[in-house]
Copies of this chain bind each other. A is one copy, B any other.
Amino acid sequence: MRYSFSDRISSLQPSAIREILKVTQLPGVISFSAGNPAPETFPKDELAEISSEIFKNEFAAALQYGISEGFGPLRELMKSRLSGKYGIGREYDDLIIVSGGQQGMDLACKVLLNEGDTLICENPSFIGSLNAFRSYSLNLVGVPVDADGMDMDALESALSAHPETKLIYTIPAFQNPTGAYMSLERRHKILELAQKFDVIILEDSPYFELQYSGEMLPTLKSLDTEGRVIYVGSFSKIVSPGIRVGLACAHRDIISKMTVAKQVSDVHSNLFFQMAIARFFERYDVDAHIAKCRDIYRKKRDAMTDAIGRHFGGLADFTPPSGGLFLWCDLPAGYDAAEFCSLCSRRKVVGVPGSAFLVDEREISGGFRLNFSLPSFGQIEEGITIMGECLKEFIGAGR
């Protein structure tokens, strides 16, 4: 029989980059296309010990239904850690445990936006969030981003052109895909603009603790004194992504609605691992663990930066990111990164062309994203060497 699907899901087309990414499944392929953390950062011995104890002493609670807000002790621990250490969360705020940061974006849209509402985001931005927004049939307006984050003049123009805007979505720290770190000046400016145009800010912050150089800046949430920022955090990059646990911190009125929305989405997040994370934060030196993750990723970033310096022959522009998992390269003006990435994937090295991250995927982008957290040092060296050869061939052919 023939099925008729909803408008919202019909608008989510399989992306053109899927063909490029399919190659990553083949043997011998070096993939810089993932967003995966390195398995060596997973605190597996700690989680193994904690899990065995939970099965022994708390199985009846851990395997039973929980409440949609999340496991109480984990919520309290995270409220206290985020507010004590980073100034995230004020007396009017509350915190909900979600099934990974992705669900934070989904629930925020679900409770705040109607179909056709306008949302402004960085362009390029994280595919998962863009697709979540598309699934709510929103009017997406993209604003350019440079090494200092979202362009504030462009944001102000976009807000003036779309005064009906409900939400600004931003990844201020080590933006996916560009790696940009929003400057302090712009952090103040975005809050000022959000206030002026009475818009909510959705701050996606999965990487902010993975900073490898430079000064750590306050989050938007910690600068916000009005309850205008919804902060979404994740345990995916400091504990494990496979367990699907994240959090959202916002004014209690918003969290209360997100709780209702979560109840009808998946009732609650995996309770066993909510308990395991709580025990992990209670018993272990999590800051030391995060410092260890940072050391691993800093070395990988340096390895990729160094290899690019040696093999790209100055044919692509890039700024070494000061944190996160991604490095962004720009081809010279006029070149299409989708074509370049196709060429590389035929040589079994996979990067993601920038068009995949655009609000309008049909636009051409001269940028491409490379992930340095998952590949080994050997793969980084070999993959960048091959990419460098492709680059010379590609740019040479085009001129």
Indicate if the CB atoms of A111 and B273 lie closer than 8 Å: no
- Residue pair A242, B6 in contact (C-beta under 8 Å): no
A154 beta carbon closer than 8 Å to chain B: no
A14-51 interface code vs B (CB 8 A; 1 in, 0 out): 10000000000000000000111101001011011001
Partner of A44, one of B12, B37, B63, B260: B63
What is the CA–CA distance of A131 and B257 in the complex, to the nearest angstrom? Answer: 13
- A285 in the interface (beta carbon within 8 A): no
A115-B115, A267-B128 known; A5-B257 Cβ under 8 A: yes
Given known A63-B42, A264-B131, A265-B103, contact A6–B241 (CB-CB < 8 A): no
Chain B residues whose CB sits within 8 angstroms of the CB of A365 once the complex forms: none
Task: State the number of copies, please.
Answer: 2
Bound Cα distance from A225 to B63, whole angstroms? 37
Min CB distance A340 to B, Å, is 26
Whether B242 and A64, one on each chain, are in contact in the complex, defined by CB atoms closer than 8 angstroms, is yes
A103 to B103 CA separation, bound complex (whole angstroms): 12
CA A180 to CA B121, docked complex, whole Å: 49
Tell me which of B110, B242, B251 contacts A135 (CB under 8 A). B110
**Contact flag A110-B42 (CB < 8 Å), given A48-B56, A272-B242:** no
A218 within 8 A of B: no
**Shortest beta-carbon distance from A246 to chain B in Å:** 9
Given contacts A6-B110, A6-B114, A242-B272, 9 further A-B contacts (CB under 8 A): A3-B251, A12-B260, A14-B260, A51-B51, A64-B240, A65-B236, A103-B266, A131-B264, A244-B270
